[in-house]
């Protein structure tokens, strides 16, 4: 995409405000506990950008949201454990202030020397963050000379620390550019949107059908085939007149599924068999049934082996594959086979030169659980953001950055 990144600007001796995604899992929700970071993947992912900026002679002011605090009183979401872990990973002192903006933050930012790292408090402690309050944005912009956005997962929300601050930085004459993580997401997903290689196969699954049906609509314009599995497939099968038993079906979405099937039945590939169970439980035992003979008292929790064969056949020779949404309830080992086998199949395609991109939080988790993240071309860090980008929407956090 035609957005400037940190390698397009000079940051030596500058104070650089970096919006990172440090929304990491924590060990406790009790503010009286000694809270630690339980998974530092997202902090690690920010290191290339942070180390590059430090090597160039910048000083850093970092900000992120963390969890869903109602206000600054929710101190269990304070950034202190994140700062501690970041300090260990960077091998440098990380100074943390207990506010996002204000006299302390301003004084700490003003005192920064090249190589120094300052971490601001959780941006959602400020009521103005989600409102995209211009006052908060301009106070944030006032702390620094340069704004860098490396939080792709927040780019679909116009918040003060994403969209607003970029506008304010430009208004005062400073650059607002993408970091390496953001740049990688834009390159990978941007290609799929604007210049996809063909054959291009999209795979959709998961559970949020009404949210994602618009994405299918848009993908029909660009992808050659769309394979539909997981909970999503149930609604389409019901739209075809199959009896789905106790399966998850979004009846409100059936008319839209019907419309898509009428419009593009040869592009949409549905399951021919499913793995059913008596109940939604980790202990439930799976049994394969054809989609036209699902037992009324059972629910479909995974795609079946004949469907996997069919999907495999459709995927042969594909040059670009986008996958969003697990093929089944992968959290239960008895119903993870479809998702795991598909992930293996896709890893094989990458070895043969295809580009395979994964979007969606649970899909990324499933691929990670299967140990195949490194085998994919790109696993997006942004669930909602990646979907909106693939839907062809403009993401406010990205639109606000400087054009090349």
- Our finding on whether 324 is near ligand ADP (CB under 6 A) is yes
- Our finding on whether 388 is near Mg ion (CB under 5 A) is no
Beta bridge partners of 60: 16, 117
42 among known catalytic residues: yes
Return the residues of window 112-131 that contact ligand ADP according to CB under 6 A: none
Question: Which uninterrupted H or E stretch holds 379?
Answer: strand 378-379
Which residue, 16 or 216, has its beta carbon nearer to Mg ion? Answer: 216
Report DSSP letters for 326-370, one per residue.
-SS-TTSGGG-HHHHHHHHHHHHHHHTT-EEEEESHHHHHHHHHT
The torsion angles phi and psi of 152, rounded to 5 degrees, stand at -55, -40
361 among known catalytic residues: yes
- Residue selected from 72, 84, 193, 207 as contacting ligand ADP according to rule CB under 6 A: 207
Q: Please work out the total of residues on this chain that contact ligand ADP, with binding judged by CB under 6 A.
A: 21
Which residue, 99 or 331, has its beta carbon nearer to ligand ADP? Answer: 331
Return the residues of window 333-372 that contact ligand ADP according to CB under 6 A: 360-363
Catalytic residue among 3, 42, 225, 375: 42
Mask: binding to Mg ion, 361-380, rule CB under 5 A, as x and -?
xx------------------
Which residue, 361 or 392, has its beta carbon nearer to ligand ADP? Answer: 361
Q: How far is the CB of 224 from ligand ADP (least distance, A)?
A: 22
Q: How far is the CB of 40 from ligand ADP (least distance, A)?
A: 21
- Residue selected from 83, 128, 206, 245 as contacting ligand ADP according to rule CB under 6 A: 206
The three-point CA angle 6-155-328 to 5° equals 120
Return the residues of window 218-257 that contact ligand ADP according to CB under 6 A: 230-231, 234, 248
Q: Cα 245 vs. chain centroid, distance in angstroms?
A: 32
Q: Which of the ranges 23-31, 43-51, 187-195, 359-367 carries the binding residues for Mg ion, by CB under 5 A?
A: 359-367
55 Cβ contact list (under 8 Å, min separation 6): none
Return the residues of window 281-320 that contact ligand ADP according to CB under 6 A: 300-301
Return the residues of window 253-272 that contact ligand ADP according to CB under 6 A: none
Which residue, 25 or 31, has its beta carbon nearer to ligand ADP? Answer: 25
Question: Which uninterrupted H or E stretch holds 146?
Answer: strand 146-149
14 among known catalytic residues: no
Distances (CA, A) of 140 to 21, 107, 153, 164, 307: 16, 13, 20, 9, 52
- Our finding on whether 199 is near Mg ion (CB under 5 A) is no
329 Cβ contact list (under 8 Å, min separation 6): 280, 301, 302, 335, 336
User: Which strands make up the sheet holding 176-178, listed edge to edge?
Assistant: 94-96, 117-119, 59-63, 15-19, 146-149, 176-178
The b-or-e profile of 197-213 (16+ CB within 10 A means b, else e) is eebbbbbbbbbbbeebb
Tokens of 13: 């001796």
Catalytic residue among 92, 131, 208, 246: 208
- Our finding on whether 326 is near ligand ADP (CB under 6 A) is yes
Which residues are catalytically annotated? 42, 208, 361, 384
Residues in touch with ligand ADP (CB under 6 A): 205-208, 230-231, 234, 248, 300-301, 324-326, 328-329, 331, 360-363, 383
């Amino acid at each position: 995409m035609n957005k400037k990144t940190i390698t397009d600007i000079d940051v030596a001796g500058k104070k650089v405000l970096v919006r990172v995604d440090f929304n990491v899992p924590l060990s406790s929700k009790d503010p009286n506990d000694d809270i630690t970071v339980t998974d530092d993947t997202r902090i690690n992912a920010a290191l290339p950008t942070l180390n590059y900026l430090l090597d160039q002679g910048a000083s850093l002011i970092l900000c992120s949201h963390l969890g869903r605090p109602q206000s600054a009183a929710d101190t269990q979401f304070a950034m202190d454990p994140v700062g501690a872990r970041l300090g260990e990973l960077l091998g440098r002192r990380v100074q943390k202030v207990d506010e996002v903006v204000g006299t302390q933050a301003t004084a700490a930012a003003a005192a920064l020397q090249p190589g120094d790292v300052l971490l601001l408090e959780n941006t959602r402690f400020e009521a103005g963050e989600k409102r995209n309050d211009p006052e908060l944005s301009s106070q944030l912009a006032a702390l620094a000379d340069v704004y860098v956005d490396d939080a792709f997962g927040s780019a679909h929300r116009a918040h003060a620390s994403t969209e607003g601050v970029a506008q304010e930085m430009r208004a005062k004459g400073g650059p607002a550019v993408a970091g390496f993580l953001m740049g990688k997401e834009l390159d990978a997903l941007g290609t799929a949107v604007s210049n996809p290689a063909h054959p291009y196969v999209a795979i959709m699954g998961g559970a949020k059908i009404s949210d994602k049906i618009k994405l299918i609509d848009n993908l029909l314009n660009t992808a050659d085939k769309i394979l539909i599995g997981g909970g999503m497939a149930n609604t389409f099968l019901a739209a075809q007149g199959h009896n789905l038993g106790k399966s998850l079906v979004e009846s409100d979405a059936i008319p839209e599924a019907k419309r898509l099937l009428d419009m593009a039945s040869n592009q949409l590939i549905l399951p021919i068999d499913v793995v059913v169970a008596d109940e939604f439980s980790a202990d439930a035992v799976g049994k394969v049934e054809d989609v036209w003979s699902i037992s009324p008292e059972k629910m479909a929790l995974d795609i079946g082996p004949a469907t996997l064969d069919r999907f495999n056949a459709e995927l042969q020779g594909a040059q670009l594959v986008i996958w969003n949404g697990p093929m089944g309830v992968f959290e239960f080992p008895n119903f993870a086979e479809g998702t795991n086998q598909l992930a293996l199949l896709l890893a094989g395609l990458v070895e043969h030169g295809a580009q395979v991109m994964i979007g969606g939080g649970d899909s990324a988790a499933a691929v990670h659980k299967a140990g195949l993240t490194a085998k994919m071309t790109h696993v997006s860090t942004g669930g909602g953001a990646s979907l909106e980008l693939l839907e062809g929407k403009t993401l406010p956090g990205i639109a606000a950055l400087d054009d090349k």
